[in-house]
Amino acid sequence: MAKSTRDIKRRIKGISNIKQITNAMELVASVKMRKARARLERTRPYYNTVLNSIKDVLSYTKVSHPLLEEREVIKSLYIVVTADRGLAGGYNANVTRLVDSKFKNDKESISLITVGSKGRDFFRNRGYHIVKSFQGISEEPEFKDAREIGKIAIDLFLEGQVDEINIVYTRFISNISYDARIMKLLPVDDLKVEGEDKLKPIIDFEPSPEEVLDYLIPKYIESTIFGALIEASSSEQAARRVAMENATDNAEEMIEELNISYNRARQAAITMEISEIVAGADALK
């Protein structure tokens, strides 16, 4: 029985150590989540300004542009945003499953740019074609990362190697709610403006509408990718915070149950000792 109580105490100590780690990770994730949310709020006005500027150019002029060209989709490019680390519940699995469920029987029709080692490892092990992988940027992405990803994607589109560009990421909704989704980047219907009969102001574009779009559309792609990276970063930290909070709660429950088992085992040992003493005293009579 003494051995049993020692084992229980050892387990309580081990779980208590794990609880300290998960509690610390929960606090760290909370701080990172607040920081990521602040960055998210700062990126949205920039994205909206670029998007509105492109719509203005398209509404005031009839301009065709290579990046707005619609084609028959034979090959698709997916930018998949996951994390570099685990311990975030179903965060990574929700994103990878979204792509794998769609293309697992048609892998030849898709190319991937992966952000995060979890996504890279998942798709590499399943034989997908990965054009480029990025690691070490999922938690604190910078705009230069989005620019590099956007340049690779745009070059592939202009060269005709892919016919559409999509990004798969986790949209941040609240501290406990986030949604894995697919967003189409090119060609995108959001940039098309329906023709209107109302009079429009006369605007001159310098040096030309085409060159203005040459500048604005890549900026739109880059800012959208950056926004998705920030959304994913916020979602990752939120998911990790929830996972670590649940792990801490589970550890507390296990410690409570083990304490009850320890007290029962200890009481049983004391009862047995008392019984042995009483039995020995009776034998001496």
User: Tokens at residue 113, please?
Assistant: 């740019």
C-alpha separations of 26 from 135, 174, 180, 242, 281 in Å: 23, 16, 22, 7, 57
pLDDT above 90: residue 147: yes
The pLDDT, as a whole number, for residue 198 is 46
Check: CB of residue 25 under 8 Å from CB of residue 161.
no
The H or E element containing residue 181 is strand 177-186
The answer to whether residues 231 and 171 touch, using CB atoms and an 8 Å cutoff, is: yes
Residue at 268 is within a domain: no
Give the pLDDT band (50/70/90) at residue 187: confident
Flag whether pLDDT at 195 surpasses 80: no
Helix (H, G, I), strand (E, B) or coil at 277: helix
237, 29 contact by CB (below 8 A): yes
Does residue 172 lie in a domain region?
yes
Mean pLDDT of 198-227: 75
The residue type of 24 is A
- Average pLDDT for residues 169-187, to the nearest whole number? 88
Is 28 a residue whose pLDDT tops 70?
Answer: yes
Establish if 152 belongs to a structural domain. yes
Looking at residue 237, which CATH number applies to its domain? 3.40.1380.10
Residue 96 forms part of a structural domain: yes
Q: What pLDDT is attached to residue 281?
A: 65
Overall number of domains in the chain: 1
Residue 208 domain flag: yes
* Average of per-residue pLDDT across 246-272: 86
Answer whether 188's CB lies under 8 Å from 167's CB.
Answer: no
Print burial letters for 176-186: b (CB count within 10 Å at least 16), e (below 16).
Answer: eebebeebebb
Q: Which sign does the torsion angle of CA 36, 18, 247, 169 carry?
A: positive
Cα dihedral sign, 117-123-124-130: negative
Cα 40 to Cα 53: distance, rounded to the nearest angstrom? 20
Residue numbers of the domain that contains 60 = 25-242
In a domain, 207, yes or no: yes
| Count of helices and strands (H, E) across the chain | 5, 5
| CA torsion through residues 189, 192, 193, 194, sign | negative
Q: Is residue 284 part of a domain?
A: no
Looking at the domain assignment, is residue 14 inside a domain?
Answer: no
**Band (126; pLDDT cuts 50, 70, 90):** very high
Position 169 scores a pLDDT of 95
Is residue 178 within 8 A of residue 172, CB to CB? The reply is yes
**Strands 76-81 and 164-174, sheet pairing:** parallel
pLDDT of residue 235: 92
- Which residues partner with 78 through β-bridges? 112, 166
For the segment 244-272, the average pLDDT, to the nearest whole number, is 86
Sole residue written with tokens 């986790």: 170
Closest CA to 152 of 114, 204, 208, 203: 114
